[in-house]
Amino acid sequence: MTHEVVGNLHMHTPYSDGTWYHEQIARAAAQAGLDFIVVTDHNVWVQGPQGYHHEVLVLVGQEVHNNRRYPQVNHLLVYGAEAELSQCAANPQELIEAARARGGLTFIAHPFDYPLKFMHEPGIPWVDWNVQGYVGLEIWNYMSEYKARLPHRLGAIYYARYPQRAIRGPFKETLKLWDDLLAAGGHVVGFGNSDAHAFNFSLGPFKRVIFPYEYLFRCVNTHLLIDEGLTSDVEYDKYLIYSALEKGRGWVGYDLLGSTQGFSFKARSASEHAILGEELRRAGAVNFEVEVPQPATIQLVRAGKGVVARANGTKLKFTSVEAGAYRVEAYRRGRGWIFSNPIYIL
Ligand SMILES: [Zn+2]
Ligand SMILES: [Zn+2]
């Protein structure tokens, strides 16, 4: 019996450029209803704070990049390596190998990222696309999207007050990249995060803390289906979460538009069945079933082929005889809401 847990796997503390420490962030996560968080400071693996705080499981990963390179592109998120890896930052492939050698999972953070021109900040996308061996892509990074939607200074003030008007969904180019990788036959996990820092932001007379952690933890999260409920044993629960993450047993939910808890995506063929992140061998036709917790526009996407079925409401059913990686997107009020990992039909 699987259990759903909700978490956020990309955020910063004052060990790099964030504002709050682990324990305070855990309190914000508890208030937002998260089950777990993974703190990922830039180029430092902070030993110590892993454990339950305010009934939220706090794990520590790392966001590694070469800080001698300008702009500082190629941000890699590392989970479960349980070691300092920033010494490998100059060579992304070596970094991925070093993490793997320690049983770590690596994800390409904000694969597309755009400059903030009026602040003279360069974009920090991933550029070394010849790398191999990473587990997945951060298909939706809240702060990276927000930054990309700011048109100019005045717009920045407006959107700092009404961030929900700026946020629309993962970048189309990121979804296309993901589909291209999936259509080429790879297993590529998608996840989504806040990238929370809680910056102090000032533009002329306008000063405020933008994007407090708690607000962001109500926005773009990763929902995972773990094999059994969390036990409060930190090492065991870490294993449950990272093994679901590695398989892609989950989805990205923009929970501000309505909680995505309870979403389900299944496929069945003869007596075999699969859930998201799993493979299913065809025996004739494959029946897909999607259920979303609130009415939405639901789309079933076959990687490389585009949308193969669409429905409005809370359910979508579709039958196919074609192999491929099938994933679900759901939209509410024209904004991205749910982006599932694929079921791989063989
Ligand atoms: Zn980053
Ligand atoms: Zn970050």
CATH number, domain with residue 59? 3.20.20.140
CATH of the domain at 298: 2.60.40.10
User: Pairing mode, if any, of strands 200-203 and 272-275?
Assistant: unpaired
Q: How many domains does the chain have?
A: 2
Using CA atoms, how far apart are residues 113 and 195, in angstroms rounded to an integer?
13
User: Last residue of some domain: 257, 272, 289?
Assistant: 257
- Which residues of the chain register pLDDT less than 70? 200-209
Q: Report the separation in Å between the CA atom of 300 and the middle of ligand 2, taken as the mean of its atom positions.
A: 30
85 close to 78: Cβ distance less than 8 angstroms: yes
Q: Report the separation in Å between the CA atom of 126 and the middle of ligand 1, taken as the mean of its atom positions.
A: 10
Using CA atoms, how far apart are residues 214 and 288, in angstroms rounded to an integer?
35
Q: Report the separation in Å between the CA atom of 76 and the middle of ligand 1, taken as the mean of its atom positions.
A: 8
Residue 207 pLDDT: 60
Same domain, 175 and 243: yes
Q: Report the separation in Å between the CA atom of 209 and the middle of ligand 1, taken as the mean of its atom positions.
A: 20
Residue 226 pLDDT: 98
Using CA atoms, how far apart are residues 173 and 115, in angstroms rounded to an integer?
16
Length of the chain: 346
Same domain, 56 and 174: yes
Same domain, 194 and 280: no
Whole-prediction pTM: 0.96
Sequence-separated (6 or more) residues with CB below 8 Å from residue 67 = 42, 43, 89
Q: Report the separation in Å between the CA atom of 11 and the middle of ligand 2, taken as the mean of its atom positions.
A: 6
Same domain, 245 and 281: no
Nearest to 203 by CA among 122, 119, 144: 119
Residue 152 pLDDT: 83
Q: Report the separation in Å between the CA atom of 322 and the middle of ligand 1, taken as the mean of its atom positions.
A: 37
Q: Report the separation in Å between the CA atom of 223 and the middle of ligand 2, taken as the mean of its atom positions.
A: 19
Residue 301 pLDDT: 98
β-bridge mates for residue 41, sequence order: 62
Q: Report the separation in Å between the CA atom of 236 and the middle of ligand 2, taken as the mean of its atom positions.
A: 26
Using CA atoms, how far apart are residues 131 and 93, in angstroms rounded to an integer?
6
β-bridge mates for residue 113, sequence order: none
Same domain, 225 and 341: no
* CB-count burial class (<10 Å; 0-12, 13-18, 19+) for 193: buried
Q: Report the separation in Å between the CA atom of 275 and the middle of ligand 1, taken as the mean of its atom positions.
A: 30
**CA-to-CA dists, residue 32 to 214, 224, 278, 295, angstroms:** 6, 17, 29, 23
Same domain, 209 and 310: no
Tokens for 211?
A: 């994007």
Using CA atoms, how far apart are residues 119 and 160, in angstroms rounded to an integer?
15
**What ligand is nearest to the CA atom of residue 12?**
2
Same domain, 148 and 169: yes
Using CA atoms, how far apart are residues 326 and 345, in angstroms rounded to an integer?
8
**Residue type for position 252:** V
Task: Provide the 10 A C-beta neighbour count for residue 236.
Answer: 12
User: Last residue of some domain: 257, 275, 304?
Assistant: 257
State which residues form the domain around 326: 264-345
Same domain, 205 and 130: yes
**What ligand is nearest to the CA atom of residue 40?**
2
Residue 205 pLDDT: 57
Residue that is written with structure tokens 């773990």 in the block? 226
Same domain, 329 and 253: no
Q: Report the separation in Å between the CA atom of 131 and the middle of ligand 2, taken as the mean of its atom positions.
A: 20
Using CA atoms, how far apart are residues 272 and 258, in angstroms rounded to an integer?
32
Helix (H, G, I), strand (E, B) or coil at 183: helix
131 close to 96: Cβ distance less than 8 angstroms: yes
Q: Report the separation in Å between the CA atom of 75 and the middle of ligand 1, taken as the mean of its atom positions.
A: 5
User: Last residue of some domain: 257, 285, 303?
Assistant: 257
Same domain, 269 and 253: no
Helix (H, G, I), strand (E, B) or coil at 215: helix
Q: Report the separation in Å between the CA atom of 311 and the middle of ligand 1, taken as the mean of its atom positions.
A: 35
Q: Report the separation in Å between the CA atom of 284 and the middle of ligand 2, taken as the mean of its atom positions.
A: 45
